[in-house]
């Protein structure tokens, strides 16, 4: 390529980037009050909902506990030296469901374990040779699974985790690209069915069997390969005999597993105008309704899949001014004046625009695909408060880190 051609290409790219930046600036102003936004220091890369609280892994090198009712930051967990990418919980007292241990992964390739009761750091482990992408805890068998940009999936034994760091217990290295997401379940016979998906669009299914001895190990056997996505799988969920996947190929796919386990007509791919980064099958939640919420680009979409072979788009919200990265269900429980419990359903969304937003399920359900709810004003349940805690000690994400984060989340 000649210097003139290269310069011309650079100028065109720069002009397109400036145009996109200006469009996002204008949209940020239009959407600044939609979804009762909770403004973050960085971007929420991962989020888990427990009760009325959101636990987030943030690009500003911290994990946080946030009150979803008030928007206040209740606790900040430090220790990593790069963006925190994922988090998971484990029981302090095995099989009690107390979830008193918080486990986080980061770009710094380490994994931290914390006791939430004292908020103290228990251990830090150099887990991978590249960015830690995601974590999965299978509590009944005391197993932690981690995946990374180094293309490796590792197993860790959580026995006696209060006394010693999680111990290496095996790995799989069959993927040729970074392993973006994982899912799994424990079976009645003590084995684990593990699903691993990479940025090439390859999904692998494994049977894990625990081997005895003084140092527990997990032996992996490959059961199946799926190649129904053309490129990067961004999220995977397994439950009720189905694999749910979102992908940068602009589709959401629902596949029965094991094959032949369902006599229903297959659900056709749910196609979108842009890459899909987030899915929330409400049939798998406490709501148990035949809806799927998806996030593509800046938009949140609701599907009715009561007839799986004929999915229908019910509504859309033009929700953020940058890409949606995660969707979760929040079941808000509160007491009324006469002592009764009041329940309200919310969809929680996170985005590269640096916000967590809260949407009443009714808002999404009543929106229209041809006239998205982004044109109306969402109900604000509380003013957006400033984060509490030691704000001066929080790390602002730099422009360079923000660009790198967006590029890494897009890369195939």
pLDDT tens by residue, 71-84: 999 999 988 888 99
Contact, 229 vs 253, CB < 8 A? Answer: yes
Per-residue DSSP letters for 353-369? TSEEEEEEHHHHHH-BT
Question: Whose structure tokens read 């599907």?
Answer: 303
- pLDDT score at 127: 77
Lowest mean pLDDT among 216-230, 238-252, 373-387: 373-387
> From start to end of 248-290, where are the E strands?
251-256, 270-271, 276-281
- Grade residue 110 by pLDDT with cuts at 50, 70 and 90: low
pLDDT (mean) for 340-351: 92
pLDDT (mean) for 122-150: 88
- Grade residue 296 by pLDDT with cuts at 50, 70 and 90: very high
- Grade residue 266 by pLDDT with cuts at 50, 70 and 90: confident
pLDDT tens by residue, 163-185: 888 889 999 999 999 999 999 99
pLDDT (mean) for 358-376: 67
**Whole-number Å distance between alpha carbons of 381 and 215:** 51
Report the helix count and the strand count for the chain, using DSSP H and E.
3, 28
What phi, psi does 147 have (nearest 5°)?
-130, 165
- pLDDT score at 373: 40
Q: What is the largest CA-CA distance in the chain?
A: 77
Contact, 55 vs 102, CB < 8 A? Answer: yes
- pLDDT score at 383: 29
Alpha-carbon distances of 222 from 173, 181, 204, 351, rounded to whole Å: 11, 17, 7, 34
- pLDDT score at 117: 52
Radius of gyration of the chain (CA): 21
**Alpha-carbon dihedral sign for residues 72, 77, 80, 81:** positive
pLDDT (mean) for 44-57: 95
pLDDT for residue 21 is more than 90:
no
- pLDDT score at 272: 97
- Grade residue 343 by pLDDT with cuts at 50, 70 and 90: confident
**Whole-number Å distance between alpha carbons of 154 and 376:** 46
The encoded tokens of residue 234 equal: 């961004």
Contact, 48 vs 95, CB < 8 A? Answer: no
- pLDDT score at 260: 75
- Which pTM was predicted? 0.84
What phi, psi does 12 have (nearest 5°)?
-65, -45
- pLDDT score at 390: 43
Question: Whose structure tokens read 């994994």?
Answer: 111
Closest C-alpha to 173, from 139, 129, 111, 231: 129
């Amino acid at each position: 390529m000649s210097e003139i051609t290269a310069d011309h290409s650079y100028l065109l790219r720069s002009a397109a980037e400036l145009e996109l930046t200006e469009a996002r600036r204008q949209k940020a102003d239009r959407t600044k009050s939609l979804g009762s936004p909770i403004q973050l220091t960085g971007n929420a890369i991962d989020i888990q909902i427990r009760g009325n609280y959101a636990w987030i892994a943030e690009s500003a090198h911290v994990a946080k506990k946030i009150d979803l009712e008030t928007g206040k930051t209740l606790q900040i967990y430090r220790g990593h030296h790069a963006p925190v990418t994922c988090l998971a919980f484990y029981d302090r007292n095995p099989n009690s469901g107390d979830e008193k241990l918080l486990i986080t992964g980061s770009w710094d390739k380490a994994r931290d374990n914390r006791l939430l009761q004292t908020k103290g750091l228990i251990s830090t482990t150099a887990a991978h040779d590249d960015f830690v992408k995601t974590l999965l805890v299978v509590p009944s068998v005391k197993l932690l699974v981690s995946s990374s940009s180094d293309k490796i999936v590792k197993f860790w034994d959580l026995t006696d985790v209060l006394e010693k760091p999680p111990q290496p217990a095996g790995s799989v290295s069959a993927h040729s690209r970074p392993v973006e997401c994982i899912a799994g379940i424990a079976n009645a016979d003590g084995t684990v069915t593990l699903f691993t998906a990479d940025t090439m669009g390859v999904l692998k299914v494994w049977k894990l069997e625990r081997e005895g001895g003084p140092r527990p190990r997990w032996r992996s056997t490959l059961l199946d390969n799926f190649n129904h996505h053309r490129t990067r799988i961004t999220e995977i969920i397994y439950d009720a005999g189905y694999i749910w996947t979102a992908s940068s190929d602009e589709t959401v796919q629902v596949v029965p597993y094991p094959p032949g386990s369902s006599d229903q007509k297959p659900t056709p791919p749910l196609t979108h105008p842009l890459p899909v980064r987030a899915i929330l099958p409400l049939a798998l939640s406490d709501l148990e309704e035949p809806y799927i919420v998806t996030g593509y680009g800046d938009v949140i979409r609701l599907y009715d899949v009561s007839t799986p072979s004929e999915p229908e788009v019910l509504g859309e919200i033009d929700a953020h001014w940058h890409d949606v990265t995660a969707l979760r269900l929040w079941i808000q429980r509160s007491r009324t004046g006469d002592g009764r419990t009041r329940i309200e359903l919310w969809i929680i969304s996170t985005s590269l625009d640096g916000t967590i937003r809260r949407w009443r399920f009714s808002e999404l359900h009543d929106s229209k695909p041809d006239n998205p709810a982004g044109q109306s004003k969402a109900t604000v349940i509380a003013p957006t408060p400033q984060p509490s805690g030691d704000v001066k000690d929080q790390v602002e994400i730099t422009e360079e880190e923000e660009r790198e984060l967006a590029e890494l989340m897009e890369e195939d």
